[in-house]
Structure 1
Amino acid sequence: MRPTRHFSDALHGHNSRFTHQAHATTRAQTHVGFLLLEHFSLLAFTQALDTLVTANLIQPETCASTTFSLSGEAVVSDLGIVITPGQALPASTKLPLDLLVVCGGLRTPLVVSPEISGALQTLARKGTALAGLWNGAWFLGQAGLLEGYRCAVHPEHRGAVAEVARHSHVGTDSFVVDRDRLSAASPTGAFHMVLAWLEQQHGSALTEGITAILAFEASRYRRTTAAAQTNISEPLREAINLMSANLEEPLSQDQIATYVGRSKRQIGRLFQHQMSTTPVRYYLELRITESRRLLQHSDLPLLGVAIACGFISASHFSKCYASFFGYSPSKEKRFGCVKSAPRSTP
């Protein structure tokens, strides 16, 4: 069975992994390179790389990655794990990279390298975005490529970066995306840095889907809400918050309009102009999205999920669910409680 309804932009990202719809895109594949320096932070590197790999789970072949070392030889990470890169750094200037990430670490020596500086300068001239993990931004600064940019660096290396990039702003954020310069001061910052960059390249639906997978604890325990909307009006924000707080017993459109202090017609216009959907459609999508979360991450029976999300009957719920996901809620994967098979006694 194929879904007959599609989620609107506000909730598409929450559900993109589960709708099994073809993700046609006119964007070219995004190519990211990672320059691994001695004693680089393995966790920061894998957080960044995992974000790209997860993007491909949601939208196949969205991202491609290549690893480099200065000479092409194996590099020892901060955990003593040896990584063999795909190529030597000089090859990076000949590849169609969209982003090159310099992977540093707490014990990565800050040593001037004409080879690294030259490669970074060549890539910058080609329009490749450049990034640094942990103290990787120091090498961007040493190459003269942080002037006028903000950057994030691990606290123990902020002074060193400020010294080589005197006209940059070395802040205390865990990550910074400033035009075509990216930086992260920690493993968590690396995740959010790549996530923010991917949103610029491929849109919020993809990054919301990545967050739902990699930050599953939040999606498991937190009631469904739309993605943070920074460009919507306050009355519309209030209406959305009211809907999110009243899923079990949905409010009428007249009630929402009264609470927000606008007419029903005005609320409809706000949704149409700012969310490209109607209040009724958005409310239904919000309830369907929450029902999927409950099915996957709770032990509620089907009828309990239907009631919790404001559906008058299990049959009505099943029909609506199948129209969005292409299968009935009874066939949804249940992650809430997995019981082991009983052992057979001899």
Structure 2
Amino acid sequence: MSISTFLASALEKRHQLLTQAKASNTDCYRVFHGTVEGINGLNIDRYGEAWLIQSFHQALSDDELQEISDSLTQVEELPVIYNDRSDKNSRVMNKLDVINDDFANQAQVMHENGIKFTSKLRHEGQDPLLFLDMRVGREFVQANSHNKTVLNLFSYTCGIGTAAAVGGATRVMNIDFSSFALAAGKTNAELNQVSDVCEFIQSDAFPALRQLAGLKVAGRRNQKLPKYPKLPATQFDLVFLDPPRFAKSPFGIVDLINDYQSLFKPALLTTKAGGTIVCCNNVAKVDREAWFDALVRCVEKQGRTVSSHSWLDCHADFPSFDGNHPLKIVALTVD
């Protein structure tokens, strides 16, 4: 089958989603998820006023790129940006013409359910400053933040925090180690006129989280600890925990396969009784039910209970082979 045939099939499956997106003022979504839809390593997204093609395993030929571009412009005539990330470090390998290069490296504005987000089609990361598969998480937070305080851990560009603020949160604390990501988060808050309720804390998650939980800040194997912002013990109505798969720092190790609990336990302590903690795990090999059972056990070991829970499943633009998406998101109400 040709690339255009695969893409046509993917677009047909998304007909209802794209219709809903237009009605809800959403112009950022995935139109081709290659791993599942026929071409491994090829993703095609709409980000605001542009189509973005990214190949992670093999570079596209000029003919293949033209074939995809022709199909996309039949849907809507927008600039088409191609990022060849097939090198082992996933950095962009290809050059663009002057006009497209200028466009791809400038900040753009896209919309999701009417919320404005800053976007940049080319930068050091692999996404233009917003993970599209987390749309369901942003929707949940927006719908469940009115008159609530929200803690957004590993906030990246603060998409979750922005959605919470737009949803009527009274206080949103975004915590991330990256000044670049937090700068984009501040822009998102400004675009939506919610800067007054948003805080941006540049910090390693471990010391920030342990302080908020009222715990002592410690390091790995007595390593000398770098400076970190001082925070008072605080509990929140809604806590959002979306850590990376694996990361090391002097303060601890993030390991979603073997030790999710090292983050979940202090995050739970920052969650008020009757509050909600939303947990994310993006590792495909982690079994959904086993992970959920481990979370419940952690809650019970702290003498608390899970009074209700809801799974937040990714939208139709991110299909999976068996209906179990690698990104698992569960919202726990804890007493």
**Richer in helix (by share):** 1
User: Which gives a bigger RCO, structure 1 or 2 (Cα 8 Å, sep 6+)?
Assistant: 1
Give the TM-score normalised by the residue count of structure 2. Answer: 0.31
Structure richer in strand, relative to its length: 2
Q: Which has the larger radius of gyration?
A: 1
TM-score (norm 1): 0.30
